[in-house]
Chain A
Amino acid sequence: EAGVAQSPRYKIIEKRQSVAFWCNPISGHATLYWYQQILGQGPKLLIQFQNNGVVDDSQLPKDRFSAERLKGVDSTLKIQPAKLEDSAVYLCASSLVTVTGTGGGEQYFGPGTRLTVT
């Protein structure tokens, strides 16, 4: 079974530039998550999709971050404009759990995209 795919693996941009990350979850996984992991910290959820609908985006800085999951499969996360504090690893994960299910099941993570904002 193929795992969660992410690209690019690394990205270096200057502040105020824009950047986009792509994620392809495990086939059949309805739920997709984007996490931000700052060096030395645990991952923090930015946004959660159930199919192509947003379940939770309470911690997404909506003035600069946006995400979409068209057709309920692939997803893109965009930052525009980037700030220095956006330097982090952006992790995509997927799971079988549904909003109406028992919740909080195992999540499968991609390798992440390491973003450096200079």
Chain B
Amino acid sequence: SQQGEEDPQALSIQEGENATMNCSYKTSINNLQWYRQNSGRGLVHLILIRSNEREKHSGRLRVTLDTSKKSSSLLITASRAADTASYFCATPWNQGGKLIFGQGTELSVKP
């Protein structure tokens, strides 16, 4: 079953603009993770936010988590053409490490 759902499914912006992607999930979690996937490549872990955190930063990335609304957002500031990729949120299913991924947001940054 799909735990996380990203919104929008696709996003096209100009270089230098900010990109915001949202993720909603269904069950209680102890953390939420964001991954990036460049075309034809594997996934790369971007950031992990724990359930007791509300906001986390990493370079140009800002992630928020609202456990009351079961939602998270990923903000990429000052986007670059190299940020063009698909972005997935993922939540743990159990204590064993299994992750459930959403459908992803396809981001296109035009130079």
Contact = CB atoms under 8 A, between A and B. Distances in A.
Interface stretch (A12-20, A71-79, A96-104): A96-104
Chain B interface residue bracket vs A: 20 to 34
Contacts of B31: 104-105
B81 interface: no
Contacts, number: 86
- The A interface, classified by DSSP as helix, strand, loop or mixed, is loop
Given A48-B97, A104-B92, A109 B44 contact: yes
Contacts of A106: 33, 45, 48
B30 A104 contact: yes
A105 B31 CA distance: 8
Interface residues of A, number: 33
Contact of B42 (A41, A44, A91): A91
B41 interface: yes
B60 interface: no
B42 A111 contact: yes
Contact of A109 (B30, B42, B91, B95): B42
A111 B35 CA distance: 14
B82 interface: no
A45 interface: yes
A107 B42 contact: no
The 8 closest A-B pairs by CB, nearest first: A104-B92, A42-B101, A109-B42, A103-B95, A97-B97, A109-B43, A106-B45, A111-B42
Given A41-B103, A42-B2, 7 more contacts: A31-B97, A42-B4, A45-B99, A48-B96, A99-B95, A104-B33, A104-B93
